[in-house]
Structure 1
Amino acid sequence: MTHINRNKFEEITLSTQPVFQGRVISLQVDTVRLPNGETATREIVKHPGAVAVLALLNDRMLVVEQYRKPLEKSQVEIPAGKLDAGEDPLDAAKRELEEETGYRCGSIEKICSFYTSPGFADEILHLYVAQDLTKGTVKLDEDEFLECESLSLEEAQQYIREQRISDAKTITAVYAWQAYKLTGSF
């Protein structure tokens, strides 16, 4: 068996210059040594990580519509949010589900984790599927304005075609749901 050198592309950090520290993200510029010995700079967004929930209720997925300022438009997305410092992703997923949709789950399992934009950010997103939902209480953040609705798989696919759903976490969740309906497993 051939051994693969996974570090052959490693970039060694020579220095880090903090640029911005916000409530959610920070920005830094790293000077790195490239594998060929040259140096380059990398602009890096640091993020605490996030969770997202494919919440299934009566063969429909719960989604929220909210305005996304970077896109200058409203988007339909699955419930999601950032991790608080030291928070377990499973606990965060349950919290975000209830805060944004008003539902609690009887069962929840992890589908996968993925990096959202590894070319410039370290944000990792943990995607869960929640089922056996019961009504709880919506608890939106003071600066959060959204509406919750439910979609069939066909409606979600149509929203993707119309770009009403256009974020990676929701598209991933829709395709995971489609695979589940075909195979019986996530």
Structure 2
Amino acid sequence: MNKSVSNKYEETTVSSQSIFQGRMISLQVDTVKLPNGETATREIVRHPGAVAVLALTEDRMLVVEQYRKPLEKSQVEIPAGKLEPGEDPMEAAKRELEEETGYRTDSLKHLCSFYTSPGFADEILHLYVAEQLEKGEVHLDEDEFLDCESITLEQAQQYIREQRISDAKTITAVYAWQVYKLTGSF
């Protein structure tokens, strides 16, 4: 996504301090000059970006259920994962689809890209739709434990009501699928 060239609300960085460097994220605290000349601090999570796949087969959506430690509960989500440094998002989407579900495809279409939490993080998520799926083998990461299933649109809507699906990427995918079923296009 493009950054704004000039903005009357722009905050200029005065200083930046790295607080934490992890495997998936880093945290920094910036001191910024506000448009009114005052200063403030901003806590910023840096993330390399991610991909997610709305994978459709036989009028069903592939989802994975896995435990999410920050929420202290299991969630049903579409296949997704972190971008590796320099990795093409479409290739990452193919990789994540196969790793988590065992399905492969050469037919991916970019639906949209969005920032997950722009108030404190720079993570951008690229959402793709995949059809014409071919069954392969699951290749989970060594610290990844999940179950894959295929669900109908009605089941997905029920999971949202039950909060078994409660993440933005999966809810966005379900709504995109609903629009597709109503209009015939994404």
- Give the alignment's TM-score, normalised by structure 2: 0.97
- Does the alignment pair 1:169 with 2:169? yes
Task: Report the Cα distance in structure 2 between the residues aligned to 1:101 and 1:110, rounded to whole angstroms.
Answer: 19
Task: Report the Cα distance in structure 1 between the residues aligned to 2:70 and 2:146, rounded to whole angstroms.
Answer: 16
- Does the alignment pair 1:82 with 2:86? no
Instruction: Summarize the alignment of residues 1-186 of structure 1 with structure 2, pairs less than 5 Å apart.
Output: 7-186=7-186
Name the amino acid aligned to 2:99: E
Name the amino acid aligned to 2:18: P
Task: Report the Cα distance in structure 2 between the residues aligned to 1:160 and 1:33, rounded to whole angstroms.
Answer: 41
Work out whether residues 32 and 40 of structure 1, in 8 Å CA contact, stay in contact via their aligned partners in 2. Answer: yes
Work out whether residues 106 and 134 of structure 1, in 8 Å CA contact, stay in contact via their aligned partners in 2. Answer: no
Moved over 2 A (4+): none
Task: Report the Cα distance in structure 1 between the residues aligned to 2:88 and 2:106, rounded to whole angstroms.
Answer: 18
CA positional deviation for 1:6:
5.3
Aligned residues, how many? 182
Name the amino acid aligned to 2:160: I
CA positional deviation for 1:106:
3.7
Task: Report the Cα distance in structure 2 between the residues aligned to 1:155 and 1:138, rounded to whole angstroms.
Answer: 23
Task: List alignment gaps of at least 5 residues for structure 2.
Answer: none
Name the amino acid aligned to 1:167: D
Name the amino acid aligned to 2:53: V
- Give the alignment's TM-score, normalised by structure 1: 0.97
Task: List alignment gaps of at least 5 residues for structure 1.
Answer: none
Task: Report the Cα distance in structure 2 between the residues aligned to 1:184 and 1:32, rounded to whole angstroms.
Answer: 47
Q: Deviations over 1:32-73 (max 9, x none)?
A: 000111000000000000000000010000000000000000
Task: Report the Cα distance in structure 2 between the residues aligned to 1:43 and 1:79, rounded to whole angstroms.
Answer: 29
Identity of aligned residues (%): 82
Work out whether residues 79 and 100 of structure 1, in 8 Å CA contact, stay in contact via their aligned partners in 2. Answer: yes
CA positional deviation for 1:102:
0.1
Name the amino acid aligned to 1:164: R
Task: Report the Cα distance in structure 2 between the residues aligned to 1:37 and 1:71, rounded to whole angstroms.
Answer: 39
Name the amino acid aligned to 1:59: D
CA positional deviation for 1:185:
1.1
Q: Deviations over 1:80-123 (max 9, x none)?
A: 00000000000000000000000001411000000000000000
CA positional deviation for 1:179:
0.5
Name the amino acid aligned to 1:52: A
